[in-house]
Amino acid sequence: MERGGRAALGLLALGALLGLCALPPPAPGPQRGEPRQGGQKTFRALLAVGREQQQEQEQQQEEQEAAGRAAPVRRGIFWSRELEARVPRGFAAEEAAAWPAAARAARVSSLERGGCGRSSNRLARLSDGSRACVRYGVSPEQIQGEALSYHLAGVLGMQQRLPPMALALVEPRGRQWEPVREELRGSLWAEGAVVSLTRWVDNLTAVVAPAPWGSEAGGGRRPRALSAAELGGLPAAQLVELVQWSDLILFDYLTANFDRLASNLFSLQWDPRVMRRATSNLLRGPDGGLVFMDNEAGLVHGYRLLAVWDPYHEPLLRSVCVFREGTARRVAELHRRRSAAAELRRRYRAREPLWAHLGFLSERQAELLQARVDFVHRHIAHCRAQAAVL
């Protein structure tokens, strides 16, 4: 903004000089002893106009800078609308809606090792020129967790942070997989297995957790709470990233996904510098936005291990007391209607033709999802009450 202001002032000065050059030539100067005409007055008037324009420009710049320093939090617990508007767009809804049909219609031209995590996964090149990570789970519940986490993100209004995903059946003699039949024989994939096809994204970079989850987490497992009071002096770029982190931590609590920040916290007990390294399964996209990758530990697998990982999930959730208002609103609706599992099931069945091959949450898992939604809702209410007395 400062460079823009200086550039504008430079153009203003250049304009004034060009204006002087464009003036008609002055009349012959008066002879000695004759009174001057209005030339000096005209020059002073021009300078006065230039000063007024410069002052007006400086005032506009100050107003713009003041707007940029607007309070980052509104109503005590919600990120400002200005900050939310600056969050990178991520994966557009139209892009996510178009991917499943395109991925299933394309033929798999080749399968390559590397670039997609676990050794059993493959990077697929598709006949339409696109690429996809094909994830073959150690057990079907991992692919189920990947798919359900993806659609829960849609229920919560966070799906733009996850790469588009669809399920597919491995059928070596089918049209889609026939070109890579020989590669499939060497992959040890079971015929008829369900895999996920996640759209490949170029130019992703690693992400290190910021304070209070990064280096300031210390040697224990409890990160310092992020509150509205300490945010005013932070640069806008850091605040925009924190908006996305608040969604990530809430999302990982609801899905009980331990294979991201929680696993890093767990590792602190023997690696005090782990929080200063890249966060697992979290990358930065070309637009600067966070990308929530590899969510197969969510919901199904994560819910089986709550006793192990909730001592890390809960402190992470309690470290956040500022939220996207839309996220908080959706949590409140799911809490009021007690409809978390029902809405997830509705969305999953409507958008994923292969849902029946993996099934849905068990009754106990559905209860756990609702209980975690209720816990998040109570936490948001607690943050609101705290903000009201500050």
Q: Could you report the per-residue pLDDT of 296-311, keeping only the tens digit for each?
A: 999 999 999 999 999 9
- pLDDT(385) > 50: yes
CATH for 93-199, among 3.30.230, 3.20.20, 3.30.200, 1.10.10?
Answer: 3.30.200
Task: Find the mean pLDDT for residues 24-39.
Answer: 42
Encoded amino acid at 311, one letter: P
Q: What is the pLDDT of residues 179-237, one digit of tens each?
A: 999 989 888 899 999 999 999 999 999 999 987 776 555 445 466 676 677 787 889 99
What are the domain boundaries of the chain? 72-87+203-389, 93-199
pLDDT beyond 60 at 63: no
Q: Note the pLDDT of residue 175.
A: 94
- What mean pLDDT value characterizes the chain? 84
Between 264 and 58, residue with greater pLDDT: 264
If we measure between CA atoms, which residue out of 354, 378, 338, 387 comes closest to residue 250?
Answer: 378
User: Is the alpha carbon torsion for 225, 281, 255, 348 positive or negative?
Assistant: positive
Angstrom CA distances, 88 to 64, 98, 260, 282, 286, stand at 21, 20, 21, 15, 10
Contact 337, 274 (CB under 8 A): no
pLDDT at 58: 53
CB-based contact 133:123 (threshold 8 Å): yes
Cα–Cα distance measured from residue 225 to residue 219, given in angstroms and rounded to the nearest whole number? 15
Mean pLDDT of 74-81: 93
pLDDT, greater one: 13 or 231: 231
Confidence of residue 279 (pLDDT cuts 50, 70, 90): very high
Least confident of 153-162, 267-276, 329-338: 267-276
Q: Say how far residue 245 (Cα) sits from the centre of its chain.
A: 7
The pLDDT, as a whole number, for residue 272 is 85
Q: Is 264 exposed, middle or buried (0-12, 13-18, 19+ CB in 10 A)?
A: buried
Task: With a cut of 60, say whether residue 273 has pLDDT above it.
Answer: yes
Contact 135, 116 (CB under 8 A): yes
Three-state DSSP state, 200: coil
Task: Give Cα separations from 381 to 76, 248, 250, 324, 358 (angstroms).
Answer: 11, 19, 14, 14, 36
Q: Number of C-alpha atoms within 13 angstroms, CB side, residue 288?
A: 10
pLDDT of residue 59: 54
pLDDT-based confidence at residue 132 (cuts at 50, 70, 90): very high
Kindly tell me the burial class for residue 52, based on how many C-beta atoms sit within 10 Å of its own C-beta (0-12, 13-18, 19 or more): exposed
